[in-house]
Amino acid sequence: MCGIAGVVKFAKNAEVEGHTLRRMCAAMIHRGPDDEGIYVKGRVGLGMRRLSIIDLATGHQPISNEDGTIWIVFNGEIYNHAVLRERLERRGHRYRTQSDTETIVHAYEEYGRDCVQHLRGMFAFAIWDARKRRLFVARDRLGIKPLYYCATAESFLFGSEIKVILAHPEVKAEFNRACLPEFLAFGYLNGERTFYQGIRKLMPGQILELDESGNLRGLRYW
């Protein structure tokens, strides 16, 4: 079990603060006691708490592609990453680690948003594409790995747990009363809404694309 977090700010002169991202990561330290990593550049920040399973020595996250234009934070396990790696290496991609995380990076380079169609496993990940100035977020087909997100007037925030988002100073913990009838009737919430106002869960088999102006697009790939 690992945990991921991230912030994308919309204002052109805004900057993500590293200490804020670390505070978000600290809210889920129980998910990843082995390691922490952050990537912060201008309006974008990605954070990770890691439980080391695959590639214990060089599997530190965030991980980038060869030229540092694509960065990823990833929670999960890709079961077919060795097969994908062989295929991607034949197409010219160069690896620096043995981790399944890096395979997602190169699959995104090769296939774009369709990379999720090639992945077999459980996953929640976020990729910042500096060339296209776009955030790409995906969750596995059955929703084994969790992911929550919130769009404020100033930022887009995501995390493996709701309290990761609540650790950001822009977000207040406000009760979402609209969910109460559904919960009282069925004992759970079926859709993307949560009990916290403005915080949603990424549904199983769904991807999100966000540009730096804050335009958000959701697609179901499975």
pLDDT at site 200 = 97
Torsion of CA 79, 218, 6, 213, to 10 degrees: 140
pLDDT at site 199 = 98
The first and second tokens of residue 10, run together, are 């919309």
pLDDT at site 35 = 77
For the purposes of burial, counting CB atoms within 10 Å of the CB of 160, is it exposed (0-12), middle (13-18) or buried (19 or more)?
A: buried
Which residue of the set 2, 25, 115, 150 is catalytic?
2
**Contact criterion met (CB below 8 Å) for 63 and 101:** yes
What lies within 8 Å, CB to CB, of 72 at 6+ separation is: 46, 61, 62, 63, 64, 101, 104, 105, 108, 125, 126, 127, 128
d(CA 20, CA 36) in angstroms, rounded, equals: 14
Q: Closest Cα to residue 62, out of 114, 101, 112, 13?
A: 101
The first and second tokens of residue 121, run together, are 């496993």
Q: Are strands 155-159 and 148-151 parallel, antiparallel or unpaired?
A: antiparallel
Neighbour tally for 67: CB within 10 Å:
8
**Contact criterion met (CB below 8 Å) for 105 and 72:** yes
Task: Compute the residue count for the chain.
Answer: 222
pTM over 0.75: yes
Could you read off the pLDDT of 163-207 as tens digits, one per residue? 999 999 999 999 999 999 999 999 999 999 999 999 999 999 999
Active-site residue, 150 included: no
pLDDT at site 60 = 79
Could you read off the pLDDT of 113-130 as tens digits, one per residue? 999 999 999 999 999 999
Residue type (1 letter), 8: V
pLDDT at site 196 = 97
Question: Residues of the chain whose pLDDT is less than 70?
Answer: 52-59
pLDDT at site 55 = 53
d(CA 16, CA 18) in angstroms, rounded, equals: 6
pLDDT at site 54 = 56
